[in-house]
Amino acid sequence: MPELPEVETIARGLDAAVRGATIVTVRVRRPDVLREVSAATLRRRTAGATITRCWRRAKLAVMDLSTGDRLVVQPRFTGALLVDAGELPARERQYSTLHFELEDGRALHYRDVRRLGTVALMSPARFDEYTGALGPEPLDRAFTVEQFSARLAGSTQAVKKVIMDQRQLAGVGNIYANEALWRAEIDPSRSAKRVSPDRVAALRTAIVDVLTDAIAARGTSFRDYLDANGEQGSFEVKLDVYGREGKPCRRCGARLIGTHAIDGRATVFCARCQR
């Protein structure tokens, strides 16, 4: 957390709120979240820069600046980018690791309770190098059944592990891997290369659909995820398997099984439905 839907929601909210805003300065309270740039250099290279676009790549929130640089934020477990017009709750400011003071009087905070996320400043060339090893975006038209099938066919690992591998598919994490595999009726532990062609097509559709549905609900909030306006997502109530181990399957009524056997991550599935 956050995964593709949450970061997409953050990026869209930021684009609506701060596109066109000019950065006056940045105040760094916790420099350990910085990557590839020092606090002094970040301050120097962002002062006077205008935010021209906010967008997402994989699980990264990206802010393009008029200088050509890109602010690249990886929220990981407890990170959030919050726009503050003077009404941000004190509990959120308490965990602000850095904040950009904007010319219009607002601030943009990077809040991170556990400080596991990162903030970097990159040139476009460095960004391309940094993201070059990432897999395709599942919501792009280029993500075809044929392309997906080729990636699965080359691996003997569990299909769940493969679709969470950012080198194979960008942005899908544990929550939505569980959900997509349930929708496609595929056993998460099945070898990727043993997923039949019709099931590959079903899984591609399920991945696209669950990500699209989650974006429409502004993501899933269990604990720390907030969008740019400090609001939670509502997809949690629509989860079919994740977080529901021991409860009845909504498709067949069998008890859902929970395990950590696949890559040490929480996996919830229906042994009756998913084969």
Crossing angle between the packed helical segments 174-184 and 197-216, to the nearest 10 degrees? 130
265 is catalytic: yes
Q: Which one of the listed residues 2, 5, 138, 188 is annotated catalytic?
A: 2
Q: Which of 57, 59, 161, 183 is catalytic?
A: 59
- Concerning whether 146 is annotated as a catalytic residue, the answer is no
Sequence-separated (6 or more) residues with CB below 8 Å from residue 109: 81, 82, 83, 84, 88, 92, 93, 96, 98, 99
Cα distance between the two ends of the chain: 27
Spatial separation of the C-alpha atoms in residues 138 and 127, rounded to whole Å = 20
Cα separation, 16 vs 22, whole angstroms: 14
Question: For residues 14 and 67, is the Cβ–Cβ distance under 8 A?
Answer: no
Q: Is 3 a catalytic residue?
A: yes
Tell me, yes or no, if 59 is annotated catalytic: yes
Q: 3-state SS of 128-192?
A: HHHHCCCCCCCCCCCCCHHHHHHHHHCCCCEHHHHHHCCCCCCCCCHHHHHHHHHHHCCCCCCEH
Active site residues: 2-3, 59, 265
